[in-house]
Amino acid sequence: MTHNTFRFIIILAVISIVGIVITQLYWVRRAFDLKEKQFNQAVHIGLQDVAQQIASYNKHSLPSANVVNKISSDYYIVHINSVIDANVLEHYLKNEFIKHQVEADFEYGIYDCNTDKMVYGNYLSTSNKTLDNRMMKSELPKWDTFTYYFVVHFPHLTTDLASDMEIWVFSSMILLIVILFFSYTLFAIFKQKRLAEIQKDFINNMTHEFKTPISTIAISADVLGNPQIIQYPERLANYVSIIKNENNRLKNQVERVLQLAKLEKKELELKKEQFDLHLFIKEATASFALKIKEGKLENKTGELVYYLHATHALIDADKVHLTNLVYNLLDNSTKYCDEAPHIEITTQNQGNYILLSFKDNGIGIEKKYQKRIFEKFFRVPTGNLHDVKGFGLGLNYVKSVVEAHKWKISLESRVGEGCKFDLWIPKVLETKENS
Ligand code: ADP
């Protein structure tokens, strides 16, 4: 799938999801409005009937206009120019609302027209489909001296109406599931595509890395195949050493790929033992220190210096994996360095941990890539600036070793100022034999 096709598919997918969501919202809104309209009509007719019934109960006539006034969809005022008996009003309200299927909790209040103050109010619930007031009927007061109007309010109208729209809630839920599923599929495609790109890069890189030593060996073999070479023992020795070196390089590459294959299968298996970190560091890096001093690494002459200040340096770790880890970090510090490499290895005690740091004066890593450098196959894109070979596996291996030991690693870096990798290793207080 080309990049443009992929982008086109993503854009289409997003447009269709947004379209479906807008359509659904539109229809839910319309259904709600329709419900509200039906509800208002039912309430209106019901209240009109209640007013009529109270008027005939009081043997009075209703005002000529505006008996039922809708203030908002959940608030109504009903004018009755006659005495309102709270008992009678409640009875009629209940009957009419049940008759017109007004299924929502409501409260009513009887007002004094002269003072606009509520003189009586009550709340009625429809939760069990039968209207059930909270007050005992015998407690309902009766007024017959003033002229009143009453109001009806539906405090939970929105939720009451929404709870009546099960089919819409259900279809919205289904839509949500479809959208989640769809988004997950897009995410999976996206991830697969990235993985495919990374793997393609890896294979290109690997082919390139293998091609160079193979062709060097082939050329050297051609030279050695010439019978005249016997007469030049120096050249002969030179070509043999080239073949040896290139063979070693190939061996290392194969080793790295095998290491990766092992890592893919399962977590690292550790053979832990207790040892002094300082002694270990000195031993593990001795040959590296010598080579860098003599300029035998990447043709760069540099130095490796130690500031081993931790007073307590006993740790519990797998020596083989730790050696590889140290070597990978030192290797990178030399590879990604434009000047004479100056590498510092520092230790210090920090609480229960030993902080082991590797600091270099290399090219550094941009902030936006710092989180990703531990990802498998990830290499900082450099365009054509630095032609440094690699598979993007070294730091991933470092991270696996750190995780297998349950240690922590962090990176501090600025472009042009080098990198500092910090490793927090728990210190061991006593050797097992002593404990
Ligand atoms: P590789 O070196 O084989 O590419 P790594 O996993 O060891 O793979 O490193 C990943 C990337 O992180 C490298 O490609 C490089 O861009 C960057 N990097 C690692 N170490 C350093 C360092 N010390 N200085 C600058 N960049 C580094």
- State the distance from the centre of ligand 1 to the C-alpha of 394, rounded, in angstroms: 7
192 and 285 together in one domain: no
Threshold 0.85, pTM exceeds: no
- State the distance from the centre of ligand 1 to the C-alpha of 249, rounded, in angstroms: 19
344 and 315 together in one domain: yes
Contacts of residue 41, defined as CB under 8 A and 6 or more positions apart, other chains included, come to none
- State the distance from the centre of ligand 1 to the C-alpha of 392, rounded, in angstroms: 7
Greatest mean pLDDT among 163-177, 183-197, 241-255, 408-422 lies in 408-422
Ligand 1 atom nearest to CA at 391: 3
Domain termination residue (choose one: 110, 137, 164): 164
Backbone conformation region of residue 418, classed left if phi is above 0, alpha if psi is from -120 to 50, else beta: left
Domain termination residue (choose one: 241, 264, 287): 264
Of 85, 47, 93, nearest in space to 66 by CA:
47
C-alpha span between 108 and 46 (Å, rounded) = 14
Ligand 1 atom nearest to CA at 378: 10
pLDDT at 1 over 70: no
- State the distance from the centre of ligand 1 to the C-alpha of 260, rounded, in angstroms: 16
Query: What is the 3-class SS of 14-48, one letter each residue?
Result: HHHHHHHHHHHHHHHHHHHHHHHHHHHHHHHHHHH
Of 148, 140, 139, nearest in space to 115 by CA:
148
Q: Which of 121-130, 369-378, 391-400 has the lowest mean pLDDT?
A: 121-130
- State the distance from the centre of ligand 1 to the C-alpha of 362, rounded, in angstroms: 11
DSSP-assigned letter for residue 84: -
27-68, pLDDT tens digit by residue? 999 999 999 999 999 999 999 999 888 888 888 777 777 788
Predicted pLDDT of residue 377: 79
337 and 247 together in one domain: no
CATH number at residue 196: 1.10.287.130
User: What separation in angstroms does the CA of 42 have from each of 37, 100, 383?
Assistant: 9, 6, 73
Q: 140 pLDDT band (50/70/90 cuts)?
A: very low
421 and 404 together in one domain: yes
Residues with CB under 6 A from ligand 1: 328, 332-333, 336, 360, 362-365, 373, 378-380, 390-396, 419
258 and 391 together in one domain: no
| In contact, 301 and 347? CB cutoff 8 Å | no
> Based on the number of CB atoms within 10 Å of its own CB, is 39 exposed (0-12), middle (13-18) or buried (19 or more)?
buried
Predicted pLDDT of residue 303: 94
Predicted pLDDT of residue 138: 41
Predicted pLDDT of residue 145: 47
Top pLDDT among 110 and 310 is at 310
Domain termination residue (choose one: 164, 197, 215): 164
19 and 64 together in one domain: yes
CATH number at residue 413: 3.30.565.10
Which residue do the tokens 């230790």 mark? Answer: 347
Provide the domain limits for residue 421.
272-434
Q: What is the mean pLDDT of residues 9-16?
A: 88
Q: 147 pLDDT band (50/70/90 cuts)?
A: low
Ligand 1 atom 2 nearest Cα: 390
Predicted pLDDT of residue 38: 92
Q: Which of 222-226, 251-255, 355-359, 391-395 has the lowest mean pLDDT?
A: 251-255
115 and 199 together in one domain: no
Which residue from 373, 387, 412 has its CB within 8 A of the most atoms of ligand 1, so it is best to mutate?
373
387 and 356 together in one domain: yes
Helix (H, G, I), strand (E, B) or coil at 359: strand
C-alpha span between 183 and 190 (Å, rounded) = 10
159 and 175 together in one domain: no
Predicted pLDDT of residue 306: 97
286-308, pLDDT tens digit by residue? 988 988 888 877 778 899 999 99
| In contact, 420 and 412? CB cutoff 8 Å | yes
Ligand 1 atom 8 nearest Cα: 392
Number of domains present in the structure of the chain? 3
179 and 139 together in one domain: no
Report the run of H or E that residue 249 belongs to, with start and end.
Answer: helix 233-265
- State the distance from the centre of ligand 1 to the C-alpha of 379, rounded, in angstroms: 6
Predicted pLDDT of residue 135: 44
426 and 403 together in one domain: yes
Number of H helices, E strands in the chain: 9, 13
251-267, pLDDT tens digit by residue? 877 877 776 666 666 66
Q: Which of 101-105, 180-184, 243-247, 258-262 has the lowest mean pLDDT?
A: 258-262
383 and 400 together in one domain: yes
Ligand 1 atom 11 nearest Cα: 379
Ligand 1 atom 18 nearest Cα: 332
Predicted pLDDT of residue 104: 85
Q: 435 pLDDT band (50/70/90 cuts)?
A: very low
- State the distance from the centre of ligand 1 to the C-alpha of 364, rounded, in angstroms: 9
